[in-house]
Amino acid sequence: MKTGLQKFTEKFVEGLLFISGSITSLAVILIVLFLFKEGWGLFNETPVEKGSVIALNKSNPVQQLSAAQVKNIFDRKITNWSEVGGNNDSILIFSVNDITNFYSEAELGDSLQFVPQRISELMGKKSGIIAFLPTEYLAKNFEGRILPLKKITLKGFLKGKEWFPTAQPAAQLGILPLILGTLWVSLFAILIALPFGLATAIYIAEIADNRVGKILKPVIELLAGIPSVVYGFFGLIVIVPLVQRTFNLPVGETGLSGALVLAIMALPTIITISEDAIRNTPRAMKEASLALGATHWQTIYKVIIPYSISGISAATILGIGRAMGETMAVLMVTGNAAIIPHSILEPMRTIPATIAAELGESAHGGLHYKALFALGCVLFVMTLVINLTVDLISARKKYSK
């Protein structure tokens, strides 16, 4: 007989278990919330760090500049205001250190107390001036005009070709090179890993006798168990010099080195999932094929592989997802140059590696910090799409059964 206490205990434990069961959902929701909360803040900001402004002469008709334009002006690639929609007037770049070029020490005061005033005066006098100033140097009745910069947009973030998050005066936050780097490295890794992974999966499931299979299983388990930082270390010491020597490159830290390391790391995923899919082929189909006179190999590639193709594609896509999210090994061997890659033999930088390398240096809540969280959001979305695709593929497979 159930007593009241027993019933209560049953219900209580069930409740407890339900709460535990909900924790992954809660975790995913919290991760999304925090990631996007910190990352989304980026799109309300201008690319100038707080505490600094960009100022012009009041007569200058230019109303707004983008981060790239500001960078080109301060790099002296744009030298005339007409290039950015202003008057035909040459650009005069000014920062606080330049003040001594215009005023004597006496005019600036003994303890430099007149500097803000002098800057203000100068801003009023020179029509082509553009100044990058800390806000504490703004005088009360500032004679220049503070220029609002274009806000960072999602489109600019995704399509921007330059990633200089700490550049002064305007941060360049374009992640296209990072996205491309991530894709190049992980796709190449799968290209290398897929033939080997598939061959091994077929070998274990169809060709090898049990004893050999029993040796291969722990090998694959171990490959999956080795920490990524150890792979990175191995890659740094063995694969990087190997790539450098083989292709006669100035540096061995290239996308190819990263792809090779990632290929080894992606193998266990590809092998185990493909093997499961191959083993799931109904015996009747195999035997029917053999009975018709097909050889074992013909059966494998005419019957078994077509049957298990959805599982194999799921394995491949999952492998790409793993490779895209891998951080440490890639960080250690790809060279981390944030430029748009043209060949796999160039240094590349992936999204996870960028976050890992830069988050430690960014000020909490600053522009750079937010940009890295936005990068995290992009990575999250990329892997989410991959996971959902895999779910879709495996769901369809069950349905067709």
Q: What is the size of the binding site for other proteins (CB under 8 A)?
A: 83
Site for other proteins contains 23 (CB under 8 A): yes
Virtual torsion, Cα 371, 373, 375, 377, nearest 10 deg: -140
Which 306-325 positions form the footprint of other proteins (CB under 8 A)?
Answer: 321, 324-325
Query: Among residues 8, 31, 90, 109, which is the contact residue for other proteins, using CB under 8 A?
Result: 31
- Residue (139 or 359) nearer to other proteins, CB: 359
Asked if 16 is part of the footprint of other proteins (rule: CB under 8 A), the reply reads yes
Q: Which of 295, 302, 392, 396 contacts other proteins by CB under 8 A? A: 295
Q: Which one, of 144, 91, 152, lies nearest residue 117 by Cα?
A: 144
* Residue whose token pair is 């009747």: 284
Query: Within positions 357 to 376, which residues make up the interface with other proteins, using CB under 8 A?
Result: 359-360, 364, 372-373, 376
> With respect to other proteins, which residue has the nearer C-beta, 247 or 297?
297
Map tokens 């800057």 to a residue: 119
Q: Which of residues 87-116 bind other proteins (CB under 8 A)?
A: none
Q: Which alpha helices (DSSP H) does 135-175 contain, by range?
A: 154-159
Identify whether the C-beta of residue 201 lies closer than 8 Å to the C-beta of residue 274: yes
**20 is a contact residue toward other proteins (CB under 8 A):** yes
Which of 128, 129, 95, 96 minimizes the C-alpha distance to 115? 96
Q: Which of 139, 167, 356, 366 binds other proteins (CB under 8 A)?
A: 356
Nearest residue (CB) to other proteins, 169 versus 326 = 326
Task: Using alpha carbons only, give the angle 314, 320, 341 rounded to the nearest 5 degrees.
Answer: 150
Hey, what are 93's tokens? Answer: 């770049």
- Please report whether residue 332 would count as binding other proteins according to CB under 8 A: yes
Q: Which residue in 38, 45, 162, 346 binds other proteins (CB under 8 A)?
A: 38
- By the 8 A CB rule, do 302 and 292 touch? no
Report the phi/psi class of residue 153: left, alpha or beta, with left for phi > 0 and alpha for psi in -120 to 50: beta
State the pairing for strand pair 92-95/52-57.
Answer: unpaired
Q: Which of 135, 391, 392, 396 binds other proteins (CB under 8 A)?
A: 391
| CB of residue 365 to other proteins, shortest distance in Å | 9
Footprint (CB under 8 A) of other proteins, residues 141-170: none
CB of 45 to other proteins, least distance (A): 17
- Choose among 36, 26, 67: nearest CA to 163: 67
Least Cβ distance, residue 177 to other proteins (angstroms): 18
Query: At 17, which helix (H) or strand (E)?
Result: helix 4-21
Smallest distance from the beta carbon of 371 to other proteins, in angstroms? 12
Q: Please give the residues from 256 up to 285 whose contact with other proteins meets the rule CB under 8 A.
A: 264, 267, 271
